[in-house]
Chain A
């Protein structure tokens, strides 16, 4: 097995102590992902390193950090894609979240936003395959229509959004308004709004989006869409909400 010796510079912070960076050199297979490198630090160098991980295939959203300054999921980022072979690979926790310890951030307020939007995690599926996060990015595979199994009214699927918080970290507005609902929160409102016909719920969701910390706060930097590992396109969803809100205002002015 082809092995690499990769130097990592990892952000360290423990409550009550001064934050700083620690450097470790880990030996990992050339095909390893960044999460494997972090795991190697934890198992063979420093067991007090705090980090999150669970699914290892970009489904749980727990491991999100910044790698060389850019928000990424270390479970699907290969070491060779972020390492130039010489300099250190820098690992930082997400921005715009309170830091609990090392690479672990406090996600309470983030999940409070997601609860406010109350987007169901399970959605109806498109009736074609293959399904990719960037639709049909996969080479020479024609999309094919799919028939539902007997006795089935629909296919179900987990939402694209894995609630990793990467968009919240990439968003420049988050730093200016800490109560901003954020790209994930607003995208979730958009999804929840699409799924419901209940006028009370629609009114509430659009009210949240139209509020002081809603869509009008967004500077349209589109950093969220750029960073999202799941192609949720939060910025696009924010723009769609804005269009709907403007349309409703016009209709109101016309007395409808």
Chain B
């Protein structure tokens, strides 16, 4: 290559890397950093409502694509539905017969999450066990369903299942092993948000959206109240992503549009000790109290399903708790000997389909561009599972980029996330410093690019 060409190339690379360094700074940025001298935004500004699993993963996706991202959350990270979920990293087995679409999404994302957050997953697999003859009849359908959805599943002997799980009901008739896992919802979100922050995103917790700013029918920003200072503020942005989970309908109503979503609550009961190593499922269609997810030193029995009006006002029906304990005993008889450590309930955002009961509603997700309702600058992403949060983020980010006319590819499939411990460190006061240990994952930058 002639010399002059070399220097031109080098020049381009230099300019590129200089810009790159700017994005890499990893420090909170002011409006000026994102604007030209004339005050125009050079990078489109996207605001995400909600810092649950969907909002967190979307913040990471869009920030990695180079957009300016602000997340608004009324409480702490994972304050709503994500925080109180069942912690199950779905293999898809639970839905492979009744909801193959969701099952396929689950197994695909399960494998991706193993790559991008290996430090935050208990990977001990799961068992589907048959207790009654009816369960046994379901077995073939289950195995066919798993095969159709590409969920790896294999039958293991009853003796082996009981050796692995000594507290399992000794009367089981069959056991099938699937790649279920367990995560921890709070740190799940923190890892996504820490990575987003490294890429320049601003995460504003304890900021409640009080209203949407509208120009005609179009959404142009949000009005927020800072719960720490009590100050009201208007934020003008290029696009608003509504990732408020079961509260998405409430937010969308502020723009005068609707989201076909049914907040559907479920009760979970955590025990005072851990009685199983693997996730235990009843080998049948999903129903109440048919799954026990172990996590740390506890086992969590779940769950029920009923539609609620206001996701903020859920009273735990005592009979649901009793049902968890009685149903849980079918899988692990020792459940009745163990004191209850905690009980919780939260609403899932399920997408409404006419004439279908809450338990049968698909656990898949959907992205709504409210341009269809005549409102521009506003999209809603809802439904889904925490397991599929990354895929939800990819889908809504693709839509956001299409709407903003940006051609940036999604790279979240192969990007290992930063340490969740970075999330608070990036934000807090820096009056003390501790040197990271050699090979400290949390001090290295190379992990997220």
Interface residue ranges, A against B (CB under 8 Å)? 1, 14-16, 29, 31, 33, 43, 47-48, 50-62, 75-76, 98, 100-101, 104, 106-118, 120-122, 125, 129-133, 137-141, 144-150, 152, 155-160, 162, 178-179, 181, 192, 198, 200-201, 204-205, 208, 230
Contacts and interface: CB of A to CB of B under 8 A. Distances in A.
Contacts, number: 243
A138 B270 CA distance: 14
A60 B437 contact: no
Contact of A125 (B277, B313, B343): B277
Contact of B160 (A58, A118, A150): A150
Contacts of B120: 121-122
Would you call the interface of chain B mostly helix, strand, loop, or mixed?
Answer: loop
A59 B184 contact: yes
B186 interface: yes
B297 A104 contact: no
A22 to B, nearest CB: 14
B273 A131 contact: yes
B122 A122 contact: yes
Contact of A60 (B125, B185, B428): B185
A49 B442 CA distance: 32
A140 B336 CA distance: 11
A148 B431 contact: no
Q: How large is the interface on B (under 10, 10 to 19, 20 to 34, 35 or more residues)?
A: 35 or more
14 contacts: A50-B228, A53-B79, A54-B78, A56-B84, A75-B342, A108-B429, A111-B423, A115-B434, A116-B435, A118-B442, A137-B272, A138-B273, A138-B339, A149-B177
B357 interface: no
Given A116-B435, A192-B437, A150 B295 contact: no
B344 A29 contact: no
Contact of A55 (B185, B274, B312, B429): B185
B436 A115 contact: yes
A162 B76 CA distance: 17
Interface of B: 75-79, 82-84, 87, 119-125, 156, 160, 163-167, 177, 182, 184-187, 206, 208, 227-230, 268, 270, 272-278, 295-298, 300, 312-313, 315-316, 318, 334, 337-339, 341-344, 419, 421-425, 427-443
Contacts of A125: 124, 277
Question: Looking at B75, B434, B439, which has the most chain A CB atoms within 10 Å of its CB?
Answer: B434
A121 B113 CA distance: 16
Contacts of A58: 270, 298, 341-342
Contacts of A121: 119-120, 184, 187
Contact of A129 (B121, B166, B443): B166
